[in-house]
Chains A and B, each alone.
Chain A
Amino acid sequence: SAVISQKPSRDICQRGTSLTIQCQVDSQVTMMFWYRQQPGQSLTLIATANQGSEATYESGFVIDKFPISRPNLTFSTLTVSNMSPEDSSIYLCSARQGTSTEAFFGQGTRLTVV
């Protein structure tokens, strides 16, 4: 199994600012992902974080708004840029070794933009 640590666990930010969320896995993993979960909703995939190359974004999400880094096989960051109240949500990091193996999630970062 893999243990995923995310930080911060929560933050309240002013509109127009940016927040970087960190995701640390306790072992090397092949795949890392970032999700958004809006209140009362299920998870929506933002992007796949690719080690050593640009992230792969899902429809509706762009790199300028959600830049992602993945410098190695255990660490990734997601930045929420130029925030607006609509960005208030829970952001979750996920990791797995392969396509059919267990997927692990961090505890999430609860972001409130005021």
Chain B
Amino acid sequence: KNQVEQSPQSLIILEGKNCTLQCNYTVSPFSNLRWYKQDTGRGPVSLTIMTFSENTKSNGRYTATLDADTKQSSLHITASQLSDSASYICVVSDGYGQNFVFGPGTRLSVLP
């Protein structure tokens, strides 16, 4: 069964600190992996998309890694800001990228 798991479920950090969110998946065949940020009351917004051949991709203070062999990904946030408080969702596409399998998300709270 295609599944995406994320850890931790929730995380609280202080402003300025770094953090790393984890994503493990069993989706096969693999097409691509995406990280989304979802602010409360808003729709998800894409942070990164990675294909099988990419193992690192950055978007500002966000850096995603992908290990297709172990089927793991991480999202590293550097120098966190209050506006980083949101849910971060890992999404894996199977086959030809038609189907999205959503992870449950990690709820990040950045405190002053």
Which residue numbers of A lie inside 8 Å of B, CB to CB?
A: 4, 6, 41-45, 92, 94, 98-100, 102-108, 110
* Contact between A42 and B100, CB atoms less than 8 A apart: no
| A42-B105, A99-B31, A100-B93 as given contacts; A110 in contact with B41, CB under 8 Å | yes
Residues of B contacting A94 with CB < 8 Å?
A: 43
Flag B84-112 by CB within 8 Å of A: 1 or 0 each: 00000100010011101011110000000
User: B34 — which chain A residues lie within 8 A by C-beta?
Assistant: 103
Which of A6, A42, A100, A110 is close to B103, meaning CB atoms less than 8 Å apart?
A: A42
CB distance from B104 to the nearest CB of A (A): 5
Total number of B residues with any Cβ neighbor in A under 8 Å: 21
| B97 & A99 in contact (Cβ 8 Å cutoff) | yes
Min CB distance B30 to A, Å, is 12
Counting from the closest, the 10 A-B pairs by CB-CB distance are A105-B43, A99-B97, A100-B97, A42-B102, A43-B102, A42-B104, A107-B43, A105-B44, A99-B96, A108-B43
Partner of A105 from the list B41, B45, B51 (CB cut-off 8 Å) is: B45
Task: Give the docked Cα–Cα distance between A99 and B99 (Å).
Answer: 8
A114 shortest CB reach to chain B, Å:
19
Residue from A6, A103, A110 within 8 A of B46 (CB atoms): A103
CA separation between A107 and B93, bound complex, in Å? 22
Given contacts A43-B102, A45-B100, contact A99 B93 (CB under 8 A): yes
Q: Across the interface, do B97 and A108 meet the contact criterion of CB distance under 8 Å? A: no
Using A4-B43, A92-B43, A107-B43 as known contacts, say yes or no to A100 and B100 having CB atoms under 8 A apart: no
**A2, chain B: closest CB distance, angstroms:** 11
CA distance A103 to B51 in the complex (A): 15
List of A residues within 8 angstroms of B51 by Cβ: 100
Interface residues of B in 42-61 (CB under 8 A from A): 42-46, 49, 51
Q: List 20 A-B contacts (CB under 8 A).
A: A6-B43, A42-B89, A42-B102, A43-B44, A43-B102, A44-B102, A45-B100, A92-B43, A92-B44, A99-B98, A100-B93, A102-B49, A103-B34, A105-B43, A105-B44, A105-B45, A106-B43, A107-B41, A108-B42, A110-B41
